[in-house]
Amino acid sequence: QQPVQSPQAVILREGEDAVINCSSSKALYSVHWYRQKHGEAPVFLMILLKGGEQKGHEKISASFNEKKQQSSLYLTASQLSYSGTYFCGTRGNAGNNRKLIWGLGTSLAVNP
Amino acid sequence: NAGVTQTPKFRVLKTGQSMTLLCAQDMNHEYMYWYRQDPGMGLRLIHYSVGEGTTAKGEVPDGYNVSRLKKQNFLLGLESAAPSQTSVYFCASANLQGTHEQFFGPGTRLTVL
C-alpha cells in the first residue's frame, strides 16, 4: 500500500535535470509532493488530482498517470536550493480525513 | 501568523518516563496529524484528528495517546517512554477546504535513554 519512490538517491550538477517517480499498487485519487531540507520540516510542493493533470512550481513540475497509478516529479535546470529529500504522499479516495500514505523519499543532492 | 508550532523542540527522557508534546496551529484548520520520522522510514502517522474532540489511530499508534480538546491544539502523550520511541516527531494540520496541503510544524527531537 505504501507508494514506492525511485530512485532512492540522485546526485546532480547544477543545471542538470532529474525525474523522481512515485508508484502505487492501488488506485489513486491524488498524489502530493513535498520537499524536506536537512533538519527542517517537509514543505508542500504540489498536488495532482485524478485526471492526469500536470502542475508546475517554478522549474519543478509533475504529472499523474492514473492508469499506471504513478506520478513523476520533474526538476528542470536544477539549482543548489533543490537539494533535499522529496516525498510523495498518496490518497486512494476522496475521503474526508485527508490522510496520506507516504513513500520513503528520494534524496537529491545538487552540487556546484 | 505563526502557522504550526511545536513544544518542546528537544527533549531527553529516561525509559519509563512520561511526557506530552504540544502542537498548536493558528490557521483554524480542521485536520491535525502526528507523525514520527526515523532514518530510512519516511513519515509514519501515529494519530490524527478530523475535528475538535475527535481522534483516530494511524499506522503506528501503540505507546502513544492523543487529545484534541481545543481546535487549535493537538497533544501527543507518551505514557511510559521506550528507547524505540526515540525519533523526530512532526505535527501537521490541513484545512477542510482548498488544496489539502498539510502544513508541518518544525518538529520535536526526542531521545529516550
Size of interface A-B (CB pairs under 8 A): 53
Q: Which residues of chain B have pLDDT under 70?
A: none
Interface residue of A99, A101, A106 to substitute, partner B, most B CBs within 10 Å: A99
Write down the CATH superfamily of domain B4-112: Immunoglobulins (2.60.40.10)
Mean of the per-residue pLDDT values of chain B? 94
Q: How far is CA A31 from CA A100, B24, B72, B77, in A?
A: 9, 26, 27, 30
Q: How open is the CA angle A3-A32-A38, to the nearest 5 degrees?
A: 85
Interface residue of B25, B48, B102, B108 to substitute, partner A, most A CBs within 10 Å: B102
Write down the CATH superfamily of domain A4-107: Immunoglobulins (2.60.40.10)
Q: Which residue of A has its CA nearest to B34?
A: A99
Alpha-carbon B54 to chain mean position: 14
| Full strand arrangement of the beta sheet holding A4-6 | A4-6, A18-23, A70-75, A60-65, A55-57
Contact B40 A104 (CB under 8 A): yes
% of chain A beyond a pLDDT of 70: 91
Partners of A32 on chain B (C-beta within 8 Å) are 100-102
Q: Using 50, 70 and 90 to split pLDDT, how confident is the model at A53?
A: low
Q: How open is the CA angle B112-B56-A69, to the nearest 5 degrees?
A: 95
List pLDDT tens digits, range A67-108.
889 999 999 999 999 999 999 999 887 765 678 999 999 999
Residue A98: per-residue pLDDT: 72
Strands B19-25 and A43-49: unpaired
Peptide bond into A7 cis (omega under 30): yes
Say which residue, B52 or A55, is predicted with more confidence: B52
Q: Which amino acid is residue B74, in one-letter code?
A: F
